[in-house]
Copies of this chain bind each other. A is one copy, B any other.
Amino acid sequence: MNAQNPVIAIIGAGAIGGYYGARLIQHGHNVHLLARTDHQTIRTAGMRIQSLDGDFNLAPAQINVYAKASQMPKADLVIVTLKTTANDQLDSLIRPLLKPDTAILTLQNGLGNEQILADLFGAKNILGGMAFVCINRVAPGHIVHSDHGLIRLGEFCGSAASDRAEKIAKIFSASNVPCKVLDNLAYGRWEKIIWNVPFNGLGALLDLTTDQLIGCEPGLAMVRQLMREIIAIAKTTGVQMPDSIVELKIEHTRTMGAYKSSMQIDRQMHRPMEIEAILGQPLRAAQTHHVASPALAALYSLLNLLQAAAVR
């Protein structure tokens, strides 16, 4: 990450990777997109971005797009936006891109992604971040960004803030993507998981939007129970979230209207759901530390059941 004009590889050009990648290209960065599904369309038709921060198109000639990681150049910064259900492919997709000082930033959902990358590529090379964004890939190469967009990121090891983290944040900020460096990556992860567990989990299981979940008493009760279980689990890992976060998150969710979580959309599209990263990881932390989490355990089992039965 010492280059003046760093080579940036984006692993997984779906909604998140496609949008942020396109923003970086739009602002002159040296970006290389791995788009195993959409590469053909992007190569011939370019990309079309509809965004509340301004629409734009990219012509095919502006985009370096690849079907295989082995065809890509070595990178200074690898941004991982792969769906966590494909995490078993992280090694083969990322290793060809690495130089000794390549920084690897995961913007994936859920918990545990930094640790997986650290085990593969060394903890000191890893950063993590959360994208707070409502975004959909509506067709190959066609992305609609409808709300929010802030990225918060930090180092996996030691203090979350670093020169490297600041440098990456500046790359985003200068590309019309608001970005903040975190003080505490673990806190940020748990603060996102406390929302994702009830709203992705229940939303996918019951095929209900966020406003449906918080629009009835049994829904509010279940959302609150799951959030309280997450607070207790996080506490045993050293992350102290205040009890007041439960009502704050619910109030914030009211502003989102009839929002479909990514996992609800995956369920509707019969795609694999990110059950392990979003629910399995906190559940395993609960089991390791003997924290009672009956609602989380049931939700995890039921989602696995739904996925297994639907896939048959």
Q: Which of A7-40 contact B (CB under 8 A)?
A: none
Q: Which residues of B contact A305 (CB under 8 A)?
A: 202, 206, 213, 216, 218-219, 221-222
Which of A79-87, A107-115, A294-302 faces chain B? Answer: A294-302
A307 to chain B, nearest CB (A): 8
Encode contact with B along A199-227: 1 for CB under 8 Å, 0 otherwise: 00010011010001101111101100100
A: number of interface residues (CB 8 Å): 28
Q: Is A61 an interface residue (CB 8 A)?
A: no
Known interface pairs A206-B306, A206-B309, A309-B206. Does A301 touch B218 (Cβ–Cβ under 8 Å)? yes
| Interface residue from B213, B295, B312 paired with A215 (Cβ < 8 Å) | B312
Q: Name, among A295, A298, A307, the residue most crowded by chain B CB atoms within 10 Å (CB to CB).
A: A298
Interface presence of A308 (CB below 8 A)? yes
- Distance A309 CA – B217 CA, assembled complex (angstroms): 9
A302 to chain B: which residues have CB within 8 Å?
Answer: 202, 205-206, 222, 298, 302
Tell me the smallest distance from the CB of A91 to a CB of chain B, in Å. Answer: 27
List, in ascending order, chain B residues with CB within 8 A of A225's CB. Answer: 301
Shortest distance from the beta carbon of A232 to any chain B beta carbon, whole Å: 15
User: How near does chain B come to A69, taking the closest CB pair, in angstroms?
Assistant: 32
Residues in B with CB closer than 8 Å to A202 are 302, 305
Question: Which of B213, B215, B222, B309 is close to A301, meaning CB atoms less than 8 Å apart?
Answer: B222
A49 to chain B, nearest CB (A): 34
Residue A304 CB within 8 A of the other chain: yes
Q: In the bound complex, do residue B294 and residue A213 qualify as a contact, i.e. CB atoms below 8 Å apart?
A: no
Are B308 and A216 interface neighbours, CB within 8 A? yes
Docked Cα-Cα span, A212 to B297, in Å, equals 21
| Chain B residue nearest in CB terms to A217 | B308
Does the CB pair A309–B205 fall under 8 Å? no
Q: Which one, B213, B298, B308, contacts A298 given CB within 8 A?
A: B298
Instruction: Report the bound CA distance from A295 to B87 in whole Å.
Output: 29
**Within residues 258 to 312 of chain A, which ones have a CB less than 8 A from any CB in chain B?**
294-295, 297-299, 301-302, 304-309, 312
The 3 A-B pairs of least Cβ separation, nearest first, read A298-B298, A216-B308, A294-B294
Known: A219-B308, A222-B301, A294-B298. 6 other contacts (CB 8 A): A205-B206, A208-B309, A221-B305, A222-B305, A294-B294, A298-B302
**22 interchain pairs (CB within 8 A)?**
A202-B305, A206-B306, A208-B309, A212-B309, A215-B309, A216-B305, A218-B304, A218-B305, A218-B308, A219-B308, A221-B301, A221-B305, A222-B301, A225-B301, A294-B297, A294-B298, A295-B298, A295-B301, A298-B298, A298-B299, A298-B302, A302-B302
